[in-house]
Amino acid sequence: MSVVVVSLNERDAPLELFERLAIADRELPKVLASLCDSPHLSEAVVLSTCMRTEVYAVLERFHDGLEDIQSFFECRLGPSEVGAAALEERLVVAYDDEAARHLFGVAAGIDSAVLGEGEVLRQVRHAAEKARLQRASGPVLSGLFRHALEVGKRARAETGIARGTTSLSHVAVALATERSGGSLDGREILVVGTGEMGEGILEALGHVAKKSRIVVANRSLARAKALASRIGARAISMSALHQELANADILITATASDDILLDADDLSSVLALRAGRSLIAVDVAMPRDIDPAAGKLDGVTLLDVGDLSAFAENEMQTRRGEVARVVKIIDDELERYAMNAQARSVGPIVAALRSKAEAIRQSELERYQSRLGALDEDAREAVDALTRGVVAKLLHDPTVQVKKDAGSTRGERLAEALRALFDL
């Protein structure tokens, strides 16, 4: 049995490939069920964000299970100019300790476009919870993800990796501010989407755009109104989006739509109503909300997650010095996780040993039942207690020792000896 992660990161793939493999939150139940239908996978967790799509799994047969996961990615890719061969080159595979190290790094924020980002910790927790609710994860992945969350919290508490701007939503606002000449004062800002990313964008705007006019658009007008009220913004329905675009100076989109929300023709028709005013459009969604061709229109500056990554890169110099300290924490926690996992692994051996001993005890009592039949109830209970006590004392020292040495080379030898000697 192996733990494996198969991962595709935005930085390693062209956006047109990466967005095909993005998995919306509403798809997770179906995706998890599909993965767990494989006879070679016993557990699965899917982590899909605007920066990564990853499948964590417990494999009963390593190569067969790995092929099933890779086939899953290829099926999602579908007909594409990129092709399956290019996809395979970009998929990163890690297993056992290295899979744990990868997840710990993700949770700690050192595998993000924005070092130390806080959003990814919530995303890791959400992925684990979704898998638990769908009964796709079991004791192995549940334990791994719980430990990853502990690593993420410890990294942020004990190092400066989370100092400053540490979320992609805040970076989106910072980039829009920079492209607007360093200030959002007097600007009209249109935010489309009120999911986790959209909520983060509005939170950031609430701090830096107090002198701006902010409009929130969402399919659920009630949700848009609820978030808009927090920062004194105005809410609109999606049907009023094009009308509002004629007035906006900055557009930030972060929906969970599978389809393009605004194509080049949509924006072209809006530009005709703007009397030559330029539009800064920041597309934080994955898959993208805005047709990339819209970026070629005169008067439109289109920025996507690639631009956010590049912008964040320049902002991260002060936190890079903290990475070594985070890696040390990951190393420490990886060792602790491995020892705990190995300690848990002797549990089934100890249980099997005790179960076998109890079965032998019961069998022997039944064999001598005819001789014990003449005993009264108290005497039979005394014999039962006596034999239970003998078995318990015989097993005490071996079970204590194998548990004590679990996680060490000696512990592995003792566990293997118990398997061989007692045919477990």
Catalytic residues, by residue number, are 50
| Cβ-contact 58, 138 below 8 angstroms | yes
- Residue whose pair of structure tokens reads 């798809």 in the numeric block: 27
How many H-runs (helices) and E-runs (strands) does the chain carry? 19, 10
Interatomic CA distance for residues 13 and 242, integer angstroms: 32
348: Cβ–Cβ under 8 A, 6 or more apart, which residues?
Answer: none
Strands 52-59 and 213-218: unpaired
**H/E element, 93:** strand 92-95
Nearest by Cα to 285 from 267, 310, 259 = 259
**H/E element, 333:** helix 323-345
Residue type, 123: Q
| Cβ-contact 5, 99 below 8 angstroms | yes
Strands 213-218 and 234-237: parallel
373: Cβ–Cβ under 8 A, 6 or more apart, which residues?
Answer: none
Beta strands in 193-310 (DSSP E): 213-218, 234-237, 250-253, 279-283, 300-303
Q: Cite the DSSP H helix spans in 134-263.
A: 139-158, 168-179, 196-208, 221-231, 241-245
**Cα 119–124–127 angle (5° rounding)?**
120
Measured from the Cβ of residue 81, the count of other Cβ atoms closer than 10 Å reads: 8
Interatomic CA distance for residues 332 and 324, integer angstroms: 12
Interatomic CA distance for residues 399 and 391, integer angstroms: 12
